[in-house]
Structure 1
Amino acid sequence: MSKCIFEVNNHIEEYEFDKAARQANGAVWLKVGDTVILATVTIDRETVIEGDFLPLTVQYIEKTYAAGKVPGGFFKRETKPSDFETLTSRLIDRSLRPVFPKGFAHPAQITIMVLSVDKEADLQRLALNAASAAMLHSDLPFKNSVTGVRLGKIDGKIEINPTNSQMQDSTLDLMIAGSKEDLLMIEMRSLGGIETEIIPAVMIDPMIDPSLASETINTKISNAMGEDELLDVIGIAQEALEVANTQFEEAMIPLAKTSEEVVYIKEVSNEEIYSHVEANYADKIKEAISKMAKSERNSSLKHIAKEIASSDISTSNDWHYDQIKHAVVSFKRKCVRDQIINEGARADGRSLTEVRPISIETNILPSAHASCLFTRGQTQALVVLTVGGNKDSQMFESLTTEGTQNETFMLHYNFPGFSVGEANPIGAPKRRELGHGNLGKRALAPALDSQGRTMRLVSEILESNGSSSMATVCGGYLALRAAEVNMSEPIAGIAMGLVTEGDKHAVLTDINGLEDHDGDMDFKV
């Protein structure tokens, strides 16, 4: 059993290896104050998954006994993950997924369990650090530390990894995950507040009633942060991440298990096929990628691949369909990126900074309290608002707070299969839907003045070709204003993209599905 104790961004963290879950490929027992977290990494080396994706699953699990509580509800045991558990699992997944090398093909399971909790613990940051430590200690042949840092702004001063109590007074909630060199995940929101102004009243004798001598006006403010200040804050976070990851790698890598080999799936590439596609099917592929609908684009490329597969040259050379499809997709990706980098133009004809056409219709549902049909290009969201009283709020519990809390602003996001032309039945919301709903909620909540009422927004995605979550933000704001709900300032959302080739780069405004898939970054603002 080995142990690492060091200070990470103002917190003493104690990591123990080979103490528990020793049959996992990697495991760590993390103790910070009264918080205890067990993180494990398990790799199925007997199974190899074919396909162009990483078979990684992340589960963050909170045990109610960690806070001395019995699960609420009829069944007195942990069952369905809470929204916080699902969102934390997604956060860790987004942070650690880039660490895995391209072609890694074994099913990988990262499990993080909260066994004991301190009321001041930032469980998301600690869970990410524990998962990263378990990976460093594992027998995986790649060792790259990823840690998280949370920044708050309290009384105008930036605080690194504030406690939960301190965050109650913060106007900023910025969570960043990264390695020593790179930022891998950014999740940010401003924390709205109330600005109180006292105005002297006229024609009132204070001797009669002193309370009538002035009038108090409370105004909702969003506490939005300017661009220059945000860049400075991100710089502070980057310095903290460099320090933390350096400590992790220097202390933990020497204690790691002996590395074992893993299988990497090589790309099914064939230069002869690629050259044939480039010489004979370039125009057809360029025509296919100019089509806007995601389902049309995919069908067109499949038709081209099947046409090549059935040709005489394919038959005589014994070309496999997988090789042909890979060549078509690779050439398509090259066309999209070259056009952006070298010509400053995009597949749908827009310039790099051009936003797709926007259409807005409000209050189109007569019986709903308010609604908005927001369309941007071929992305369309129907956002519907229902206004209720205090009894309509969502009750929930968390490990780090006492008793039951009430959520008075909800945003629920639904993504049916027909929005992308797929024949899928509608079922319970998946992780992605919970994540996108939370993203929209974080954007709108700081500016919302609910005045003691419960607000529920539901976003039904009717079409999707890029950035449906940001269409939800735009439609959500418009639905709120259509109901004459007070907002401290207008809110809109847009997805930005990045394409890099060597020393060249291009920043894209309002990316569509094609640019999201073939680009290098999807950054929602």
Structure 2
Amino acid sequence: MACTFEFEMNNRTVTVETGKVARQANGSVILRSGKTVLLATAVMDDKPIEDHFLPLTVQYIEKSYAAGKIPGGFVKRETKPGDFETLTSRLIDRSLRPLFPKGFFNPVQITVLLLSVGEEADLQSLALDAASAALYLSDIPVNRCVAGVRIGRKEGQFVVNPTLDELEEGTLDLFVSGTKEDLLMIEMRAIGTVEVEIEPTVAVDPMIDPMLAEEIIQIPHVNELKEEELIEAISVAQKAISVAAAEYEKVFVEAAKPLKDVPLFEVKADPSIVTYVKEFYMDEINRALDGMAKSERGSEIKAIVEKLLEDEIAKTEEWTEEQVKAAVGEVKRERVRSMILEEGRRADGRRPEEVRPISIETNILPSVHGSCLFTRGETQALVTCTLGSRQDAQMFERITGKSASYEEFMVHYNFPGFSVGEASRIGPPGRRELGHGNLAKRALEPTLDKTQLDAIVRLVSEILESNGSSSMATVCGGSLALKAADVPLLKLVAGVAMGLVMEGEKYVILTDIMGLEDHDGDMDFKVAGTEEGITALQMDIKLGGIGLDLLEKALTQAKEARLHILGIMHEAANAIEINEEVLPSTEIFHIEPHKIADIIGQAGKTIREIIEKFEVSVDLDKKQGEVKVTGPSKAKVKAACDHIRSIAEGARAKKEVPQFEMDKPMKGKVKKLVDFGAFVELPGGVDGLLHISKISRGHIAHPSDLLHEGQEIDVLVKSQKGHKIELALAKPLD
């Protein structure tokens, strides 16, 4: 039966229809908000998979027709998903995955199709709400609704679900998802802006010239968020989410399908096998933990499972590999958590708040503009920075945009298998790589001084070794790689991954978690920022949710770690030696706007010659007279600038031509020979044309038959119109 529900909350109106389309799916909805229309479906296979994990697939798909467009390029249909689609799919997945009951192993696919789009739509928030509604209204055994809320900040005030314009004009972009009881996922970025201050100039009377009475000063500023401000913003989001999720469940409950009776598999290991492992294999478990403190691979645990399967008792009792693996995993997990909770130490011997040893090397690659090898414990990132010109910007097209946009700061993250000791295929970046690169970009971009930066910047992070938070190593290494490439930065940025182990009322917050603690802990919480505050944050909560007081403690502990890391980074930054030889150079200067045409030349000939001769790129602003020259070396850029200035000076001389007396003999020097005559330099440095018909009374094939460049001859001015001067010979040539 078709049903329609309308909601008006959190600064927007949403209409949800169910039972009308895609009725073969377990659940489907059409969500409308303004001109935006989304179709969300949820489908479940009846048969669970053999491997015990939740096979959830989420795909957010944008269709060009939604904005009245035809896809660009050779193939006129949508192909692989863009970065925004991938990141939105990840956001939905991370928000919905905690809703499924433990032991649920049936494959589930959630698809969100964008059918129509309005220019001001927050597509991520609406897509999450649509996916949650489709899942809740289906017969898949999920009985909670998720809501997503975006928080902006403008003029010091938090705004719930701001418009896209309000968001970009503000200083904060915070996205939070959760149920009516708990927060599940948080993403945050500071939005870097330029503060504008207006100061009166005392020397100018505003009644005479009000424009000159004010001096506009642009002051670049990093809009970090202090820990207490972030807690306040999350609190605002939590209240909005609680209201929305509760309202959704209240209204949807009557239309929701009866839940299917799906078998839930026992996730706890066999107690008797667990006891046996503790009794006879505890030493091996402890040795394995020592190895896992140095690698994410976990091959030590696999070795214990294989050894135990060969045990006489295992063969007699006919224990399966799955049973043994579950028992060893549970003992390992209990040991990791008890060490932290009861002994206050971790598998690698650190205290809960301790950061692993850090080493930093900069500009180790001689042909690279900027590079940094950042090592923290067993996590290592080689981050490189490359500077380019405007044509190097990454073009992309947002479905809400009217024209193409250009990404001027790019962060690309690569995670090859050898970083964790695995022989895996190396292919195009997956969702994880795109997500980690995006997190690092959000952390670093607010610190770029865009009033001084006049280049396209690309950072590439090659993860060479991984055991915990390679994305935060990318942030630290990326900030120093920018510094090593002499990119104007307002502040350095450091990142750290935080964890949590919680049993009942007892908990321990962990700083700089490794892979083992990420796997067996209760929270993955990445914080990046400057000494003053947070520029980016990402949190996934594996528990049902955590309180704001615990979150505040985690943020405070993260700040202490961040300041420690920044101290080491500042020492490394002070020791940077810039690669002057390979670093591209840019010079900007002004000439009179009317001289731009002389630099371009006829049909662009002059500008092409400059670009080819000096190996530079030249950008010209015809209105302002601005000339920007960019090239691979400072020497070539300087030579190109000098050449352009000389052309401009020559153009000025042409404009200031002296008036010559007609038919008065004067000396001239042949400057250039052409098919139709000779250009002769006259007194004052101006040129006149001696036509071939004036050179000889008889026929000659070319002026070079009688003249050569540099020859002095006697000439007469026969005609002058500005700088156009026609000449004749004062006496016949010898």
Aligned residue number for residue 3 of structure 1: 4
Deviating more after overlay: 411-420 vs 201-210: 201-210
Query: Quick one: which amino acid aligns to residue 337 of structure 1?
Result: R
Name the CA shift for 1:408/1:297 in 2 (closer, same or farther; >3 Å). closer
AA aligned opposite 1:12:
T
Q: Is residue 2:525 matched to residue 1:523?
A: yes
Separation in structure 1 between the aligned mates of residue 142 and residue 474 of structure 2, nearest angstrom:
39
Q: What letter corresponds to residue 2 of structure 1 in structure 2?
A: C
Look up the SS of the partner of 2:301 in the other structure: helix
Change over 3 Å in CA distance of 1:55–1:396 after alignment to 2: same
Distance 1:145 1:210, change over 3 A: closer
Q: Work out the CA distance in 1 between the residues paired with 2:507 and 2:408.
A: 43
How far off its partner does 1:210 sit? 9.4
Q: Return the match for 2:477 from 447, 461, 475.
A: 475
Q: For residue 476 of structure 1, report the CA deviation from its aligned partner.
A: 0.3
Q: Structure 2: 5+ residue runs without aligned partners?
A: 528-734
Partner of 1:462: 464
Which string of whole-angstrom CA distances, capped at 9 and with x for unpartnered residues, describes residues 332-370 of structure 1? Answer: 000000111111110100000000000100001110100
What does residue 344 of structure 1 align with? Answer: 344
Deviation at 1:283? 1.7
Distance 1:296 1:123, change over 3 A: closer
Structure 2 partner of 1:365: 365
Q: Distance in 1 between matches of 2:495 and 2:5?
A: 43
1:512 aligned residue:
514
Match of 1:179, as an amino acid?
T
CA distance in 1, matches of 2:268, 2:246: 37
CA separation in 1, counterparts of 2:159 and 2:410? 29
Moved more, 258-267 or 368-377: 258-267
- CA distance in 2: counterparts of 1:190 and 1:233, whole angstroms: 13
Which residue does 2:89 correspond to in 1?
Answer: 89
Q: What pairs with 1:56-71 in structure 2 (closer than 5 Å)?
A: 56-71=56-71
Q: How far apart in 1 are the matches of 2:93 and 2:418?
A: 27
Cα shift at 1:514: 0.2
SS at match of 1:364: coil
Q: Which residue of 1 aligns with 2:645?
A: none
The one-letter amino acid of 1:315's match is: K
- Aligned partner of 2:621 in structure 1 is none
Change (3 A) 1:202 1:390: farther
What displacement does 1:304 show? 1.7
User: In the alignment, which residue of structure 2 is the partner of 1:452?
Assistant: 454
Secondary structure of 1:260's counterpart equals coil
| Equivalences for residues 34-433 of structure 1 within 5 A | 34-45=35-46, 47-197=47-197, 216-267=216-267, 269-292=269-292, 298-433=298-433
Secondary structure of the residue that 1:109 maps to in structure 2?
Answer: strand
CA contact (8 A) 1:294 1:514 kept: no
Task: Verify the 8 A CA contact 1:294 1:420 in the aligned structure 2.
Answer: no
Cα deviations across residues 223-270 of structure 1 (Å, max 9, x unaligned)?
111111111111111110110011100001210122221132223722
Checking the alignment, whether the CA contact within 8 Å between 1:147 and 1:179 is kept in structure 2 is yes
Point out the more displaced range, 451-460 or 310-319: 310-319
Letter in 2 for 1:136: Y
* Structure-1 separation of matches of 2:410 and 2:9: 35
How big is the shift at 1:198? Answer: 5.5
Distance in 1 of aligned mates of 2:385 and 2:215:
33
Cα distance in 2, alignment partners of residues 248 and 214 from structure 1: 53
Task: Verify the 8 A CA contact 1:50 1:265 in the aligned structure 2.
Answer: no
AA matched with 1:55: P
- Sequence identity (%): 58
Shift of the alpha carbon at 1:213? 8.3
Alignment: residue pair count:
524
1:395–1:405: 8 Å Cα contact kept in structure 2?
Answer: yes
Secondary structure, counterpart of 1:432 in structure 2: helix
Cα distance in structure 1, aligned partners of 2:296 and 2:15 = 53
Q: In 2, Cα distance between the equivalents of 1:347 and 1:16?
A: 52
Q: CA deviation at 1:281?
A: 1.3
How far has the Cα of 1:410 moved from its partner? Answer: 0.3
Matched letter for residue 321 of structure 2? Y
Q: Distance in 2 between matches of 1:134 and 1:455?
A: 41
CA deviation after TM superposition for structure 1 residue 131, in Å: 0.4
> How many angstroms does 1:151 deviate by?
0.4
Structure 1 residue 296 displacement after superposition? 7.7
In structure 2, C-alpha distance between the alignment counterparts of 1:278 and 1:162, rounded to whole Å: 55
Distance 1:293 1:344, change over 3 A: closer
* SS of residue matched to 2:195: strand
TM-score normalized by the length of structure 2: 0.69
Contact map agreement 1:268 1:323 (CA 8 A) in 2: no
Gaps of 5+ in 1: none
Secondary structure of the equivalent of 1:38? strand
Which deviates further from its counterpart, 443-452 or 87-96?
443-452
- Deviations along 1:402-424, one digit per CA (max 9) or x if unpaired, are 10111100000000000001101
Alpha-carbon distance, 1:521 to partner: 0.4
Q: Please report how far the alpha carbon of residue 472 of structure 1 lies from its aligned counterpart in structure 2 after TM superposition.
A: 0.3
Partner residue, 1:500:
502
Q: Structure 1 residues 309 and 65 mapped into 2: Cα distance closer, same or farther (>3 Å)?
A: same
Q: Distance in 2 between matches of 1:206 and 1:503?
A: 66
User: Residue 30 of structure 1 aligns to which amino acid in structure 2?
Assistant: L
Deviations 1:289-338 (CA, angstroms, capped at 9, x unpaired):
02246658622212222222212222222222221221111100000001
One-letter code of the match for 2:507? H
Amino acid at match of 1:5: E
Is the contact made by 1:268 and 1:322 (CA closer than 8 Å) also made in structure 2?
no
**1:486/1:219 Cα in 2 relative to 1: closer, same or farther (>3 Å)?**
farther
Query: What is the one-letter code of the residue matched to 2:360?
Result: I
Aligned partners of 2:216 and 2:455: how far apart in 1? 21
The whole-number CA distance in structure 2 between the counterparts of 1:383 and 1:55 is: 33
| CA–CA distance in structure 2, aligned partners of residues 362 and 209 of structure 1 | 52
265-274 or 436-445, which moves further after superposition?
265-274
Measured in 2, the distance between the counterparts of 1:44 and 1:300 equals: 35
Residues 48-73 of structure 1 show CA distances to partners (whole Å, capped at 9, x for unaligned) of 11223210000000111111111111
CA gap 1:204/1:416 in 2 versus in 1, 3 angstroms: same
SS of 1:402's equivalent? coil
Equivalence for 2:29: 28
**Match for 2:373: what amino acid?**
L
Q: Distance in 2 between the 1:442 and 1:109 partners?
A: 29
TM-score, scaled to structure 1 = 0.96
Contact map agreement 2:291 2:300 (CA 8 A) in 1: no
Distance change (3 Å), C-alpha of 1:35 and 1:213: closer
Matched residues in 2 for 1:185 and 1:37: separation?
A: 22
| Counterpart AA for 2:226 | G
**Residue matched to 1:485:** 487
Q: In structure 2, how many angstroms separate the alpha carbons of the residues matched to 1:274 and 1:501? A: 20
Greater CA drift, 364-373 or 200-209:
200-209
Tell me the CA shift for residue 388 of structure 1. 0.7
CA apart distance, 1:287: 1.6
Higher relative contact order (CA 8 A, sep 6+): 1
CA contact (8 A) 1:104 1:265 kept: yes
CA distance in 1, matches of 2:207, 2:154: 39
Q: Which moved more, 1:378-387 or 1:50-59?
A: 50-59
Which segment drifts farther, 447-456 or 291-300? 291-300
Deviation at 1:91?
0.2
**2-side partners of 1:473 and 1:290: how far apart?**
27
